[in-house]
């Protein structure tokens, strides 16, 4: 049972969250209204800056032509696939690097170099290697997200409390028991943080891949809109992309809350 003071404190927190949410939503609505007013008064050039009404009409037009959800699904599928592969493979490689310190010392400079390499520069080579299809898009996404996942998860493994490690070693635990009972569970927070980063990185990689080879997806809509100078389509694609990214991020945040509650119990 919570005390009366605790209930009052929780009520204040709830009111604060509601106030912040209303304020955030109000800023967005005011921005849209001002944007539309400026467009109606011809203060801004709608050919260059578009307008909320034009963007809304563009999205409705995509829906009527059955292009909206098809393109959203293509990008979402590619992102989920690359995100899953990067997370599983990145965590596995990070575990190997933790297990074999010598391998980590050998590989570390190469990870740093690959992480700093502009991935777009490899675009022509990726197309030649994997063809102009989904394989190139997934590989591009992996190039961007995998290295970051490895580095983030490995840092989590490496930053576990040293005293706890010494205690378990003094009790005669094996290396596998140390990893399974202490290192991995203690690093769940870092892994979840890596997932949050990985969502955005995978999405960025997919969009970059779609810019290069795709004929479907949100990235294709944005690229096609820029090629035909349809700024309303470009901004519509960016808006849809923001919505998809937000949904994915909040799903990972929801998973984080569930894991934290389970860990507390």
Q: What per-residue confidence (pLDDT) applies to 263? A: 52
Whether residue 85 contacts residue 138, with contact meaning beta carbons closer than 8 Å, is answered with yes
Pull the structure tokens for residue 38: 């400026």
Q: What per-residue confidence (pLDDT) applies to 61? A: 93
Alpha helices in 65-100 (DSSP H): 68-99
Q: What per-residue confidence (pLDDT) applies to 6? A: 66
Residue 227 CA, chain-centre distance (Å), reads 27
The number of CA neighbours under 13 Å toward the Cβ of 212 is: 28
Q: What per-residue confidence (pLDDT) applies to 2? A: 58
Q: What per-residue confidence (pLDDT) applies to 264? A: 46
Q: How far from 168 is each of 151, 173, 205, CA to CA, in Å?
A: 25, 6, 41
Q: What angle do CA 174, 175, 177 make, to 5 degrees?
A: 65
Average pLDDT, consecutive stretches of 10 residues, N- to C-terminus, the chain (265 residues):
67 83 90 93 88 92 90 92 91 91 88 82 83 86 88 87 84 85 84 82 88 86 89 92 88 76 52
Q: What is the dihedral of CA 148, 154, 160, 164, to 10 degrees?
A: 160
Q: How many residues does the chain have?
A: 265
Q: How far from 213 is each of 131, 143, 144, CA to CA, in Å?
A: 8, 16, 17
DSSP state of 216: S
Q: What per-residue confidence (pLDDT) applies to 35? A: 93
The DSSP string of 133-177 is: SHHHHHHHHHHHHHHHHHHHHHHHHHTS-HHHHHHHHHTT--HHH
CB neighbours of residue 45 within 10 Å: 10
Q: What per-residue confidence (pLDDT) applies to 59? A: 93
Q: What is the dihedral of CA 259, 183, 82, 97, to 10 degrees?
A: 170
Residue 43, SS3 per DSSP: coil
Pull the structure tokens for residue 65: 């032509």
Whether residue 247 contacts residue 209, with contact meaning beta carbons closer than 8 Å, is answered with no
């Amino acid at each position: 049972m919570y005390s009366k003071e605790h209930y009052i404190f929780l009520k204040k927190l709830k009111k604060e969250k509601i106030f912040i949410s209303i304020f955030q939503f109000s800023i967005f609505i005011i921005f849209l209204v001002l944007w539309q007013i400026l467009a109606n008064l011809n203060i801004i050039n709608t050919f260059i800056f578009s307008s909320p009404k034009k963007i809304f009409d563009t999205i409705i037009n995509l829906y009527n032509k059955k292009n909206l959800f098809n393109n959203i699904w293509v990008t979402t599928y590619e992102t989920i696939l690359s995100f899953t592969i990067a997370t599983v493979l990145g965590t596995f490689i990070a575990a190997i690097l933790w297990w074999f310190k010598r391998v980590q010392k050998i590989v570390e400079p190469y990870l740093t170099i690959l992480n700093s390499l502009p991935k777009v520069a490899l675009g022509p080579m990726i197309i030649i290697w994997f063809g102009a299809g989904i394989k190139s898009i997934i590989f591009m996404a992996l190039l961007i997200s995998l290295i970051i996942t490895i580095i983030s998860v490995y840092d989590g493994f490496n930053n576990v409390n040293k005293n706890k490690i010494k205690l378990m070693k003094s009790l005669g635990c094996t290396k596998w028991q140390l990893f399974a009972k202490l290192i991995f569970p203690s690093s769940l927070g870092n892994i979840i943080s890596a997932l949050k980063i990985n969502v955005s990185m995978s999405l960025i990689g997919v969009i970059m891949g779609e810019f290069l080879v795709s004929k479907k997806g949100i990235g294709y809509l944005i690229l096609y809109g820029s090629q035909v100078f349809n700024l309303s389509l470009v901004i519509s694609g960016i808006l849809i992309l923001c919505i998809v990214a937000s949904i994915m991020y909040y799903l990972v945040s929801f998973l984080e809350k569930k894991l934290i509650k389970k860990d507390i119990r």
